Amino acid sequence: MPVRQTSEREFIALFGFLTSLTALSIDAVIAGMPVIARELSSGGAAPDVHLIISALVLGMAFGEPVFGPLSDARGRKFAILLGIAIFMAGAVLAITAQNLNTLLLARFIQGVGVAGPKIGSRAAIRDRYEGASMARAMSIIMTVLILVPMLAPALGELVMLAGSWRTIFMAYCVLACIAALWLCLRQPEPLPTHRRTPFRWGQTLKTALRICRNSRVMPATIAAGLMFGCLTSYYGIAASIFHDIYAVGGYFTSLFALLALGMGIATLTNSRLVMRLGMYRLSRHALMGLVASGILLLGASALSGGAPSLIIFMLLFSGSLFAIGVLFGNLGAMAMEPLGAVAGVGASVIASVSSIVAVVVSMTSGHFYDQTLIPLAICLSSCALLSLALLHHAQRSELVPVCAPAPRHQAG
């Protein structure tokens, strides 16, 4: 039987839930990372436990360029449900993992899968809304995404009380099943058959290359990846910071949520200021603030043997997260600005490139992590300086819209 059109509230709730699977995949497992490090520590696994975050983001980088064109060709629901199925397969593999390498493979598979709900949900929202209505829907969904990083570690810790760290991956399966059933039973296909675009490798590749050569798209995309990399670098070592450096593991979820609140406040602040100050001006000020907080954290860490007082860390790093929160929406909007009619493929390319950059940043920072805050401070300040240079280059470049290649017509 055909599924009736859902109400606006249910539509936003459904796709907010689907979109939040990405944040839950990253954040909920953080609470279990110290236990995972102890259990899978044979063969030197403990120092590499931060790769649990990087492996997921790397999988997203591979999945994002596939699910965008796939959702255009086969429909949003098909792409989302296929992604959920792959995500659940990765979760099942993680439940049975007996060593870190298997767990990292499982996380990579989860990353590939979660790209389906991430990209498919964005496209579905664009199908139903435009203009101010779309801005309103996205602002509500962004509010959900602000709450998830604050609550996800606490959820992971609560789930672990019922079993072990493997229970977190069982919870992923349950949440994915709920999302899939909700989508199947309540939401009709947002993209009608007559509006679907046949998938052609050659045409898609040419469009992707045009996007990558655009002098405004790529600088903003790489800068967004650098900011995502700073965030994933922190996620990878957050549990160690509070458990090992400051020995306040019992307050981990509360302190993590308090820091995440800074990003939420930044998102709300940005929505009020961006129309008055503009994306570039606001982003430049945020990057300068991130450089300053990173350098101050580096100086404080160097003067205190790698670990300044907890209060100093919380104050300086909350400032860093506030700056990153301002930058996320603005850099994404800058990257999308020249895309126009190729926004579907463009969103996939931008997401994939930024994820790859984030993986490089987080793996490099994680490799040098020595149970001090110095590598994290260097990561913040250097990524902010590089992003400032990229932003300056993008601002000086001419805004040239990216157009799809003209279709080839047969003679006669």
d(CA 381, CA 293): 8
Query: Nearest-CA neighbor of 174 among 52, 92, 56?
Result: 92
pTM, entire model: 0.84
Instruction: Answer for the pair 401, 213: CB distance below 8 angstroms, yes or no.
Output: no
C-alpha angle 10-16-21 in degrees, rounded to nearest 5:
135
Q: What is the pLDDT of residues 75-115, one digit of tens each?
A: 899 999 999 999 999 999 999 999 999 999 999 999 999 99
Query: Which pLDDT score, from 0 to 100, does residue 410 have?
Result: 44
When pLDDT is averaged across residues 3-14 and rounded to a whole number, the result is 83
DSSP 3-state assignment of 382?
Answer: helix
Instruction: Answer for the pair 307, 245: CB distance below 8 angstroms, yes or no.
Output: yes
d(CA 334, CA 342): 15
Is the predicted pLDDT of residue 136 greater than 80, yes or no? Answer: no
Query: Which pLDDT score, from 0 to 100, does residue 278 have?
Result: 81
d(CA 199, CA 409): 17
Torsion of CA 199, 11, 340, 222, to 10 degrees: -90
Q: Where does the pLDDT of residue 342 fall: very low under 50, low under 70, confident under 90, or very high at 90 and above?
A: low
